[in-house]
Amino acid sequence: MEILTQTAPKTNLLGLSRKAMEAFFVSLGEKPYRAQQVLKWIHFEGVHAIDAMTNLSKALRAKLHEIAEITPPEIAYESTAQDGTHKFLLRLADGNCIETIFIPETERGTLCVSSQVGCTLNCDFCSTGKQGFNRNLSAAEIIGQVWTAARSLSENKTTHDRAVTNVVMMGMGEPLLNFDNVVSAMDIMLDDFAYGLSKRRVTLSTAGVVPAMLKLREVSDVALAVSLHAPNDELRDVLVPLNKKYPLKELMQVCKDYFKDDKRRYVTMEYVMLAGINDTPTHAKQLIRLLEGIPSKVNLIPFNPFPTTIYKRSDRATIDKFREILMAAGINAITRKTRGDDIDAACGQLVGQVKDRTRRSERHLKKFADSQNASNL
């Protein structure tokens, strides 16, 4: 008779925050300070070979070989846009692929990190949503994007050593629907023994999962961005269907209170500019009323098209006019520069390779084909 022996899966040390790493070493009968040493090796030194960790005893390294691993995602494909924006397509152990984008600027380098394989929210103007959903990323897969990008960029001699100075959780997925793993990964980004980024340089962006925003405020002090996109419920219900569950009144109340203990901080409101949909002076005036009393700044994002979308980007003059109306009312508004769109690396263009379990991508393509056929009649 065949005897099946089952070995416990190894712990991927890449995804352990300081707290989790300390608990891990204590469970092995080791001192908690081992956590700092190993965090530093992995994230500061970029090491993934246990044997390279020379301040651990040989016996401890042998033990780690048995029960632990440091497994980053694999780079399946990468490309650089004309403006220097760099796209990584990362393959995960189960074959799904996610996208991570590096956006270099003169004073900083921002990494746009994914939190899920696909997304469940299905915002009408976002190509990730149209890909459907497979699963949440583990903490190791989230921080693994930072690890892989930082290492790859520092190996690339055209960039300097610490290329990643900022992280935005604005890649594929809704980070607040993968709460624990996202918070663990952000803890590692902020940890002085790992990436040591300041709380103002790590931003979580949400479509407005109200209860999770309240919880986040209690456990993390990273910067917050909200994907607003519409100044009234009627329109937002269509563009961001999550609005039906958490309407603007509730969302705005959380935003109002979010940084009430620190008057210097504000919520970034993201507003995608869709021609003829949400970009008129009337919308701007509604937005002014909506943001009254809310410490906020508005980021206007020119819409980035993708093949099956019905939406169009507002023209420059319309965006400028919209911005001027906001500014005249004392609202700080900037227009986000479009980066990386020639390699489909811009906001809302990230698709990865999602083994869709929702069949939404299929339905979306059928709907699009039907609408094309109808307009050809």
Least separation, in Å, of the C-beta of 126 and ligand SAH? 3
Q: Which is nearer to ligand SAH, 150 or 226 (CB)?
A: 226
Picking from 342, 358, 326, the residue whose alpha carbon sits closest to that of residue 87 is 342
Cα–Cα distance measured from residue 165 to residue 146, given in angstroms and rounded to the nearest whole number: 11
| Chain residue whose CB lies nearest ligand SAH | 348
**Binding-site ranges for ligand SAH (CB under 6 A):** 123, 125-126, 170, 174, 205-207, 227, 270, 272, 301, 303-304, 347-348
The count of C-alpha atoms lying within 13 angstroms of the C-alpha of 256, restricted to the half-sphere facing its C-beta, is 10
Cα–Cα distance measured from residue 375 to residue 62, given in angstroms and rounded to the nearest whole number: 66
Cα–Cα distance measured from residue 256 to residue 296, given in angstroms and rounded to the nearest whole number: 9
Q: Which is nearer to ligand SAH, 162 or 367 (CB)?
A: 367
Which residue's entry shows tokens 């500019």? Answer: 273
Cα–Cα distance measured from residue 368 to residue 372, given in angstroms and rounded to the nearest whole number: 6
Q: Which is nearer to ligand SAH, 174 or 191 (CB)?
A: 174
Active-site annotation holds for 99: yes
Q: Which is nearer to ligand SAH, 24 or 306 (CB)?
A: 306
Least separation, in Å, of the C-beta of 241 and ligand SAH? 12
Q: Which is nearer to ligand SAH, 99 or 270 (CB)?
A: 270
- DSSP states of 255-303: HHHHTTT-TT--EEEEEEEBTTTT-SHHHHHHHHHHTTT--EEEEEEE-
Picking from 368, 355, 351, the residue whose alpha carbon sits closest to that of residue 114 is 351
Cα–Cα distance measured from residue 377 to residue 375, given in angstroms and rounded to the nearest whole number: 6
Cα–Cα distance measured from residue 350 to residue 169, given in angstroms and rounded to the nearest whole number: 13
Cα–Cα distance measured from residue 254 to residue 256, given in angstroms and rounded to the nearest whole number: 5
Least separation, in Å, of the C-beta of 303 and ligand SAH? 5
Is 365 in contact with 355 (CB distance < 8 Å)?
no
Of the residues 22, 97, 99, 174, only one is catalytic, namely 99
Q: 177 in helix, strand or coil?
A: helix
Active-site annotation holds for 347: yes
Q: 226 in helix, strand or coil?
A: strand
Of the residues 119, 126, 255, 347, only one is catalytic, namely 347
Which residue's entry shows tokens 């009234």? Answer: 232
Least separation, in Å, of the C-beta of 304 and ligand SAH? 4
Least separation, in Å, of the C-beta of 326 and ligand SAH? 17
Least separation, in Å, of the C-beta of 301 and ligand SAH? 4
Q: Which residues are catalytic?
A: 99, 347
